[in-house]
Structure 1
Amino acid sequence: MRGSAAPDGSVWARLPHELGDAVRPRIPEIARACVDVIATEIPEYSASFGHGPSRAVAIEQARRGIERDIDRVGTPAMWQADRLAEFRGHGREAFHNGLSREAVQAAVRVSSRVTWRWIADIAREARLSGDVLYGAAEGMFADVETSMAAVAEGYSAAEAAMSGTGERHRRLLRALLGGRTPAEVDGLVAASGLRVPAQVAAVAFRALPGAPEFPPDLLPEHVPADPSGDPPAALSSAPDTDLAGLPGLPAGWTAAVGPLVPLASAPESFRVARRAVDLAARGLLDAPGPVVWCRDHVTTLLLLADEFLAAQLASSTLAPLAGLSERRREQLAETLLALVRTRGSAPELGRLLELHPQTIRARLKKLGELFGARLDDPGERLRLELALLAERALPGG
């Protein structure tokens, strides 16, 4: 379950915009040159790239790819998930077109070599420094490695789909998430051809009725996944890299990434992920997009692991606030949470809550009347903090 490292664009980001401005008008010429050299040097491409509609399609693909890469010059670093997905697609397409894996990888090398020569000549014509040439070369060489790895992934995935390996990967996924015995899993691992990692993070998916199908290129092919299963799931040994494409989930889809755990604890990671995706669907977990990372919501997940007990804790612990008006209760609860967290003075709490110290003193006096010695007991302060957080996290909190 190895992941190909996606280039983060940092090398290209350090290059001056002048390089992109100089290269961009020449991109159509560069694309034609790439296709011509591929047709000349790689016999498997000679017939299709030499003339006719296939040549025109290849030139357009090359043009778009070069343009996309040049657009990275001088831009902030970013994960190139879309770029790698495109190269995986090239690998699958090559397999279905009867080309060899070696031929499509050779085409990547040839295209990169031709593009680099053009960029170097254009940079010299524009009198750009040697550091710019070195940086462009570094970016090109890094891209070659990751592009070839993505092509191989796509090619292997197409082979697996034809040979039934994809089904074996799904069986392994279900075995790992289901807590099967090591002996049972070992046989499935051998059949799958995957390398067993030391740690994994489970992914749980949820799709609303009528949501589009799960995009086939959203996850790398080496990631065991069954987004259409019951329940939908995936498993990753390198979640930050493997799951970089998940923010591109179509409307109606949500994913939750469980904690990274030892392989034997994969079922627990999946249990937490399923709980998180359920809570997110109810609006109880605040995530900026369709992906919930459980590591960012540990406190809420812990408090809502048993909603009945969380409600009982909040109700019994905060009973002294029950007879107050809603607004007065909110004010005192806000001050109480700040107090038990910081043990600050009235001026300190005033700065924290952006209120006048005299207002805080009045609230502290009322809290002292309501909770008494509990405010001075460390164990009771912890209980009060948990109760206040649980109340906030619960539905209607």
Structure 2
Amino acid sequence: MRGSAVSDGSVWARLPHELADAVRPRIPEIARACVDGIAAEIPEYSRSFGEGPARVAAIEQARRGIERDIDRVGTPAMWQADRLAEFRGHGRTAFHNGLSREAVQAAVRVSSRVTWRWIADIAREAGLSADVLYGAAEGMFADVETSMAAVAEGYRAAEAAMSGTGERHRRLLRALIAGRTPAEVDGLVAASGLPVPARVAAVAFRALPGAPEFPRDLLPEHVPADPAGDPPAALTPAPDTDLAALANLPAGWTAAVGPLVPPATAPESFRVARRALDLAARGLLDAPGPVVWCRDHLTTLLLLADEFLVDQLASTTLAPLAGVPGKRREQLAETLLALVQTRGSAPELGRLLDLHPQTIRARLKKLGELFGSRLDDPGERLRLELALLAERALPGRE
């Protein structure tokens, strides 16, 4: 392997232990800086490394790697075999996640450059000599060659192991839901020989601990799917026919079907599907079976897209109801929602709510006292309707 002769630990072994002692407390900061640098410079990583679990995992991975490298300072040890295996694993993972080999190799370069800058600054702060800086630079840049060669080796091995339409489907699925650029997706499509439909719906899956494995025969072979992946997902241009068998999902499994969208916005369809799974798990979306169809819950998904803003809207818009006792408040809120939605008369609202018109008139009088001219303002009526619908969608928030 190119570079392995110079990256055998001999350079690091000549460096003083004081360098390792100075760097070690700063490793968590260096790891975060590496991930930030990769996200900023490499578009293929910007979405996943920007926030969320993938960013946390990447920082932890970087921390462990830097820690192992620093452990070699002053130690006459060969480059660890497990470190090379780790970089080969990075190459395989990049391939299966739809990343290009160039992107993952660029990530190695960026990470090494960021790490070197931090180590150089720390060494200067510690008063270490220029010889130490030169030695650290020599060791790091030799390691870059070794690391990139291992990444390429793992990537090529994954390419060679790829066989069958199913694997090509999974790669295309990952590329689409991860928000790759059109050029990147076009390259994967050309390499796979698979057609991309004009519109697709993303599917998100969730399995409770202890749930059985996903049955392989629940989805047609032509549907790109990876229910065991991270995150579990599928894509289909014909959800009604392709996903019919999901009604037979085993106990412990749930699926949510996102909106039909152009392939370029498949990540948004997947985001909405995952949000629907979260809301369904909290009992905020009703579904007759294990499948949540987002198209049936668009209003609720919109209202609960930002729960903080929902709380703000409800608390400010419905403030006049704050001092009304529980049952009475519920009755007035029910009548108020019917009023702003229909602008009906007391008899009409009575028929709608199955109440005597005189009861409705009494409630309307009270609402008039509480809300005044706001009931005649179209903009205010819209705010009231949204606040009341959101309050219904999030029970217990009033």
TM-score strictly above 0.5 = yes
Q: Do 2:170 and 2:226's aligned partners in 1 also have CA atoms closer than 8 Å?
A: yes
Structure 1 pair 145–223 and aligned structure 2 pair: CA distance change class (3 A): farther
Going from structure 1 to structure 2, the CA distance change for 1:366 and 1:47 (only over 3 Å counts) comes to closer
* Deviates most, 308-317 or 159-168: 159-168
Q: Give the match's secondary structure for 1:160.
A: helix
Which range is displaced more, 223-232 or 154-163? 154-163
CA displacement at 1:165 relative to structure 2: 3.5
What are the superposed Cα offsets for residues 127-146 of structure 1, whole Å, 9 maximum, x if unpaired? 99999999999999999999
Maintained 8 Å contact 2:34/2:114: yes
Deviates more, 1:233-242 or 1:146-155: 146-155
Cα distance in 2, alignment partners of residues 173 and 291 from structure 1: 20
**Deviation string for 1:18-67 (max 9, x for gaps)?**
99999999999999999999999999999999999999999999999999
Per-residue deviation at 1:304?
Answer: 0.4
| Aligned CA distance change for structure 1 residues 158 and 291 (closer, same or farther; 3 Å) | farther
Q: Does the 8 Å CA contact 2:97/2:175 hold for their aligned counterparts?
A: no
**SS in structure 2 at match of 1:15:** coil
Give the CA deviation at 1:278. 0.8
Q: Once the two structures are superposed, what CA deviation does each residue of 1:77-112 show, in whole Å capped at 9, x if it has no partner?
A: 999999999999999999999999999999999999
Report the alpha carbon displacement of residue 190 of structure 1 after superposing the two structures with TM: 2.4
2:75 is equivalent to residue 80 of structure 1: no
Listed as ranges, the gaps of 5+ residues in structure 1 are none
- The CA deviation string for residues 178-233 of structure 1, in whole angstroms up to 9 with x for no partner, is 11112211222123332110000000011111011101000001000010111100
Q: 1:67 to 1:260 in 2, by over 3 A?
A: farther
Counterpart residue number, 1:186 = 186
Contact 1:2 1:222 in 2 (8 A): no
> Are 1:36 and 1:49, in contact at CA under 8 Å, matched by a contact in 2?
yes
Matches within 5 A, 1:48-63: none
Are the counterparts in 2 of residues 153 and 220 from structure 1 also a CA contact under 8 Å?
no
The TM-score with structure 1 as length reference comes to: 0.59
Q: 1:179 to 1:382 in 2, by over 3 A?
A: same
Deviates most, 40-49 or 372-381: 40-49
Helix, strand or coil at the partner of 2:234: strand
Tell me what 2:279 maps to. Answer: 279
C-alpha displacement of 1:167:
2.2
CA distance in 2, matches of 1:339, 1:203: 38
Distance 1:307 1:57, change over 3 A: closer
CA distance in 2, matches of 1:341, 1:133: 72
Moved more, 31-40 or 309-318: 31-40
Tell me which stretches of 4 or more aligned residues in structure 1 moved more than 3 Å: 1-162
Distance 1:207 1:127, change over 3 A: same
Give the secondary-structure state (helix, strand or coil) at the position aligned to 2:217.
coil
Report the RMSD for the aligned CA atoms in angstroms.
Answer: 20.3
Kindly provide the CA deviation profile for residues 332-368 of structure 1, in whole angstroms up to 9, marking residues without a partner as x.
0000000000000000000000000000000000000
3-state SS in 1 of match to 2:206:
strand
Taking CA–CA contacts closer than 8 Å with sequence separation of 6 or more, which of the two structures ends up with the larger relative contact order? 1
Question: In the alignment, is the contact (CA less than 8 A) between 2:12 and 2:72 conserved in 1?
Answer: yes
Matches of 1:125 and 1:318, distance apart in 2: 58
Unaligned runs of 5+ in 2: none
| Identity score, percent | 90
More moved, 76-85 vs 97-106:
76-85
Instruction: Give the structure 2 partner of residue 304 of structure 1.
Output: 304
